[in-house]
């Protein structure tokens, strides 16, 4: 079924009206959420022609919004000749069907939109399987409502997924496909776990970038690659939501042979469905094995508190809140033309750094913070290694910070800066 996930390219644009519901008093949260939804539509090559907000104490089970608002929305759609109506919250299959019948155009929700973006951007086999699994798990309970929409498989936003013929046949087919996908992903997860163990066994520290989507995690990684990278291949970096979906690993080497693996993870977004969070937990779990987490925020964003809350909730769900972390506030170049004279620099410390990955401003302070946190357990030791253990000396030269080495009659004399793991490895060769 994976070959049917992509029925239309993002090169084809669509027009949209956004609809949100404020369940209590009208507040800034719904505006912030709709602004983010607009960015998601733009990431899918859509154009937002209007927004509609309704205050509701209770959601309408048939149409989500009130009957009068549905009539108003239908007139809005007809006047603007809109292709798609995008709701900010998840809709049931029945709600989608009823809304399409009454409005006369395609209706999708935030989850369908995000899954569409994911489907178009997933490059790895694991990413494509994860997206398909999330799509099928989302659509299975909604087959009745999706019947009408998915019979029109001419393409378009929200249709990069499985179609429908007969509901019961499709249910059986989808359940079988879900089982197949779970088995395939379990096999990939086993391989991923072996790779993680291998990286851990190598003794090279792991540092993971986490944060909201489009805060600049990939820009930080690319700066590190350009200035300290052992590999030339940069990661995709665009000013859009979900430019990176698959975890990227790159080897970074600071001064004095201080190496670590830097991991760029998928970004977060508010109201991310449980299906998508569950599907990408394998990718997000890269942070679970990290020695240090770099939590990145976009300091220029008008609701950093909103993004921080989403990030904290996801980290809590993954039980990563207590992990050793550095807090990086990116894009300071966007907040003040006189940033050089700003007191913001006074707030930099070992765990809190204000940077611009785009201009390189303060990235040296981030380097220092990583060194302080990742290599703080290093000790400078004098070693005398016998000649018959020359392979150990060679390994130390290749993978650690060897400050001096001399070959004498009694063996190999070394002065090296070693982490706890390597200290244990050579403890019998330490000299006074």
The residue with tokens 């369908």 is: 112
pLDDT tens, residue by residue, 111-124: 999 888 888 877 77
- How much is the pLDDT for 151? 42
38: pLDDT strictly greater than 60 = yes
Distances (CA, A) of 118 to 3, 244, 255: 15, 10, 38
pLDDT at 153 over 60: no
Please check the confidence at residue 95 and state whether its pLDDT lies above 60. Answer: yes
Residue 160 in this model has a pLDDT that exceeds 60: no
Nearest to 91 by CA among 71, 66, 116, 65: 65
Give the model's pLDDT for residue 109: 94
Least confident of 54-68, 207-221, 326-340, 374-388: 326-340
pLDDT score recorded for residue 184: 92
Give the whole-number percent of the chain exceeding pLDDT 90. 37
Say if residue 158's pLDDT is above 90. Answer: no
More confident residue, 344 or 91: 91
CA separation for the pair 234, 402 (Å, rounded): 29
* Higher per-residue pLDDT: 199 or 160: 199
Average pLDDT over residues 49-71: 94
pLDDT at 150: 45
Structure tokens at 61: 């089970």
Q: What is the pLDDT of residues 189-237, one digit of tens each?
A: 888 778 767 766 666 888 999 988 889 998 999 999 999 887 666 776 6
The Cβ of residue 344 has, within 10 Å, a number of other Cβ atoms equal to 15
pLDDT at residue 251 tops 50: yes
pLDDT of residue 37: 93
pLDDT, greater one: 342 or 333: 333
H-helix segments, 151-293: 167-202, 217-228, 274-279, 281-284
H or E element, residue 66: none
Comparing C-alpha atoms, which of 353, 293, 297 is closest to residue 323?
293
User: Average pLDDT in the 330-340 region?
Assistant: 72
pLDDT of 8 reads 42
- How many whole angstroms separate alpha carbon 254 and alpha carbon 157? 45
For position 140, what pLDDT does the model report?
Answer: 86
Q: Could you tell me if 155 and 84 are in contact, meaning their C-beta atoms sit under 8 angstroms apart? A: no
More confident residue, 145 or 329: 329
Helices (H), 82-157: 93-103, 110-121, 125-139, 143-150
pTM to 2 decimal places: 0.75
Question: How sure is the predictor about 70, in pLDDT bands with cuts at 50, 70 and 90?
Answer: very high
Average pLDDT score over residue span 84-91? 95
For CA atoms 144, 146, 148, 152, the dihedral sign is negative
Checking if the pLDDT of 6 tops 50, the result is no
Q: Tell me the pLDDT band of 27, cut-offs 50, 70 and 90.
A: low
**pLDDT: which is higher, 103 or 170:** 103
Could you tell me what percentage of the chain is helix, strand and coil, using 3-state DSSP and rounding each to the nearest 5? Answer: 50, 20, 30
Query: Are the beta carbons of 77 and 15 closer than 8 angstroms?
Result: no
Of residues 153 and 328, more confidently modeled: 328
pLDDT confidence bin for 30, thresholds 50/70/90: confident
Asked if 45 and 13 touch (Cβ cutoff 8 Å), the reply is yes
pLDDT digits (tens, 9 = 90+) for 269-309: 888 777 777 666 666 777 788 889 999 999 988 878 888 88
Return the pLDDT at 282.
Answer: 63
Please give the mean pLDDT across all residues of the chain.
82
Q: Decide if pLDDT at 154 tops 50.
A: no
Tokens of residue 364, six digits: 């040296």
């Amino acid at each position: 079924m994976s070959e049917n996930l992509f029925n239309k390219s993002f090169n084809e644009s669509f027009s949209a009206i956004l609809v949100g519901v404020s369940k209590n008093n009208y507040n800034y949260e719904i505006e912030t959420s709709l602004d983010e939804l607009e960015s998601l539509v733009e990431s899918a090559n859509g154009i937002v022609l209007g927004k509609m907000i309704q205050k509701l104490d209770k959601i309408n089970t048939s149409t989500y919004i009130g009957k009068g608002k549905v009539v108003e929305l239908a007139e809005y759609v007809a006047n603007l000749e809109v292709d798609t109506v995008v709701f900010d919250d998840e809709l049931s299959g029945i709600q989608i069907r009823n809304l399409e019948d009454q409005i006369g155009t395609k209706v999708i929700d935030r989850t369908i939109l995000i899954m569409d973006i994911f489907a178009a951007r997933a490059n790895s086999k694991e990413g494509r399987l994860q997206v398909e699994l999330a799509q099928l798990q989302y659509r299975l309970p909604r087959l009745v409502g999706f019947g009408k929409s998915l019979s029109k498989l001419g393409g378009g936003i929200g249709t990069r997924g499985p179609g429908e013929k007969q509901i019961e046949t499709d249910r059986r087919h989808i359940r079988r496909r879900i089982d197949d996908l779970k088995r395939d992903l379990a096999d990939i997860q086993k391989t991923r776990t072996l790779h993680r163990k291998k990286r851990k066994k190598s003794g090279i520290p792991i540092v993971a970038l986490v944060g909201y989507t489009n805060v600049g995690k990939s820009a930080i990684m690319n700066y590190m690659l350009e200035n300290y990278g052992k590999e030339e291949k940069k990661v995709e970096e665009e000013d859009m939501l979900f430019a990176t979906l698959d975890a990227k690993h790159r080897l970074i080497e600071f001064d004095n042979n201080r190496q670590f693996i830097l991991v760029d993870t998928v970004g977060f977004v508010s109201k991310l469905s449980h299906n998508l969070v569950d599907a990408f937990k394998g990718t997000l779990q890269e942070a679970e094995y990290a020695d240090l987490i770099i939590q990145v925020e976009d300091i220029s964003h008008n609701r950093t508190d909103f993004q921080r809350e989403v990030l904290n909730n996801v980290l809590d769900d993954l039980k990563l809140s207590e992990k050793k972390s550095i807090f990086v506030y990116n894009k300071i170049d966007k907040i003040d033309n006189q940033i050089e004279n700003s007191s913001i620099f006074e707030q930099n410390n070992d765990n809190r750094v204000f940077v611009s990955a785009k201009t390189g401003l303060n990235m040296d302070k981030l380097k220092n913070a990583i060194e302080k946190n990742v290599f703080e357990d290093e000790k400078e030791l004098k070693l005398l290694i016998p000649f018959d253990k020359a392979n150990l000396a060679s390994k130390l030269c290749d993978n650690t910070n060897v400050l001096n080495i001399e070959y004498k009659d009694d063996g190999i004399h070394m002065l090296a800066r070693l982490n706890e793991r390597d200290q244990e490895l050579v403890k019998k060769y330490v000299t006074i």
